[in-house]
């Protein structure tokens, strides 16, 4: 489960900072040139290199060469800082121009953009955004991503549902991929090496006759992917199934629209 979540700080102050509606009183800051953007950039660099747990006000201040109290004249605390970090990452995301392309190409581009975000900023995948940071980065991202689903006959709610489903899938894949990388790092073994070590003791205790389907399918999957879990395969397979579901929903809506005149004629006749 995510240990950090957005919108956990002071809502009014966070929105002011996200939209840069009020600047801190520079007379209180001992170092000229320090800014909210500089604080966010320093915190993001720490999170990218060492993880979000390493981001503390004291550590960020150290990176910037100021005393911790100085940061509080720019950002109230870590909760607000996290919102600023994530929104800044959203704002920097490349926006693929998919004008004129088929809708499934547009949706795949959105998925790839978010996958790239989590690869560049792995900590972002572990942050819960059930209450998202409502800054310009998020709003620009949302506007761009909705365009992939616009004009397909989906209702506004269905468009939001499809986008939420897509982004949740990509984030879940990113978290699992990060867990797989962490497991390899912590064990100092890749998946093949881990199985070579653990297969013999497993064979001694596992009764294949008691779990015939599990053994057969597990062996087939392991042979196909080279491990019990392949993050790249899981992402590719899942994205295609997701597109299949979107296709069914879009076709269902188009079928309903096509049949609407006939239903109206039948109703008028009765």
pLDDT in the model for residue 29: 47
Tell me: the pLDDT tens digits for 128-180? 999 999 999 999 999 999 999 999 999 999 999 999 999 999 999 999 999 88
**What mean pLDDT do residues 181-199 have?**
85
Per-residue pLDDT of 228-256, as tens digits, reads 889 999 999 999 999 999 999 999 988 77
Give per-residue pLDDT as tens, 72-92. 999 999 999 999 999 999 999
* DSSP for residue 129: -
What dihedral do alpha carbons 59, 63, 64, 68 form, nearest 10°? 20
Please name the residue that has the structure tokens 């109703």: 267
The whole-model pTM stands at 0.88
Helices (H) and strands (E) in the chain, counts: 11, 2
Is pLDDT above 80 for 38? yes
Q: Give the per-residue pLDDT at 253.
A: 83
Residue 153's pLDDT is 95
Q: How far apart are CA 196 and CA 234, in angstroms?
A: 23
Token pair 């709610």 in the structure block, residue:
157
In whole angstroms, what is the distance from residue 245 CA to residue 149 CA? 13
CA distance 36 to 23: 9
Q: Quick one: 6 exposed, middle or buried, by C-beta within 10 A (0-12, 13-18, 19+)?
A: buried
* Average pLDDT for 102-108: 97
| Helical ranges in 147-230 per DSSP H | 156-187, 191-205, 212-225
């Amino acid at each position: 489960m995510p240990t950090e979540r957005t919108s956990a700080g002071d809502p009014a102050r966070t929105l002011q900072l996200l939209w840069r509606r009020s600047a801190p009183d520079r007379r209180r800051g001992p170092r000229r040139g320090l800014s909210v953007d500089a604080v966010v950039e320093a915190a993001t660099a720490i999170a990218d290199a060492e993880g979000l747990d390493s981001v503390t006000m004291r550590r960020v201040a150290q990176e910037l060469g100021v005393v911790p109290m100085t940061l509080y004249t720019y950002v109230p605390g870590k909760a607000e800082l996290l919102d600023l970090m994530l929104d800044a990452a959203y704002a920097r995301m490349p926006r693929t121009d998919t004008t004129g392309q088929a809708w499934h190409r547009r949706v795949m581009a959105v998925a790839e953009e978010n996958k790239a975000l989590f690869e560049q900023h792995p900590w972002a995948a572990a942050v819960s955004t059930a209450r998202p940071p409502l800054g310009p980065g998020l709003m620009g991202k949302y506007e761009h991503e909705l365009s992939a689903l616009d004009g397909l006959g989906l209702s506004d709610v269905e468009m939001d549902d499809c986008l939420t489903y897509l982004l949740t899938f990509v984030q879940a894949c990113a978290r699992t991929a990060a867990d797989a990388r962490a497991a390899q790092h912590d064990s100092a073994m890749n998946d093949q090496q881990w199985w070579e070590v653990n297969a013999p003791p497993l064979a001694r205790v596992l009764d294949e006759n008691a779990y015939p389907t599990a053994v057969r399918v597990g062996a087939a999957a392991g042979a196909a992917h080279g491990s019990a879990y392949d993050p790249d395969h899981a992402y590719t397979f899942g994205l295609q199934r997701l597109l299949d579901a979107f296709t069914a929903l879009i076709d269902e809506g188009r079928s309903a629209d096509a049949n609407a005149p006939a239903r109206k004629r039948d109703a008028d006749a009765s």
